[in-house]
Amino acid sequence: MDGKKSDGYKRIPIKIEIYNKIKEEHKIRNIEYSVSRWVSDLLLMNIEKYEYLRLYAPYISYKGVHENELFLRDEKLDRIVEVVLKDRTLFCRYCNKDDCIHIHYALVLPELGRLVKYSKNKI
Ligand SMILES: [Zn+2]
């Protein structure tokens, strides 16, 4: 023990630009509780999303993102499946449709947010 009294929080460094973005969103959403508590909730919710996805589709895993595409590994198909964001709609290139297990998986993934910049000019 370091002799300090615990307040129930662990400190984790966050890059300034990310912290500023978090504070801005905290303000936009008019969150009534502290940024610390809100960030803890956000992190926990993301972990819970991963837990949910492991139960919902244990044979699918996230592999990466490139520009407007998400890459998912589907063990049942034994291949990588591409989900692309186009005109504000997700589309599965393997199933050739916008409503399938891969789309459902992608919609829950926190990494989906990485694609948002490719839909902004279409809103
Ligand atoms: Zn699909």
* Range with the poorest average pLDDT among 3-7, 50-54, 104-108: 3-7
What pLDDT score does 120 carry?
63
Nearby residues for ligand 1 (ion, Cβ within 5 Å) = 92, 94-95, 100, 102
40-67 confidence digits (pLDDT tens) = 999 999 999 999 999 999 999 999 999 9
Residue found under tokens 């009534």: 32
Average pLDDT over residues 63-84: 96
C-alpha 65 to ligand 1 mean position (Å): 16
Distance spanning both ends of the chain, measured CA to CA: 52
C-alpha 95 to ligand 1 mean position (Å): 4
Whole-model pTM: value is: 0.84
No. of helices (H) and no. of strands (E), the chain: 3, 4
What pLDDT score does 38 carry?
95
CA distance 27 to 23: 6
CA distance 98 to 112: 15
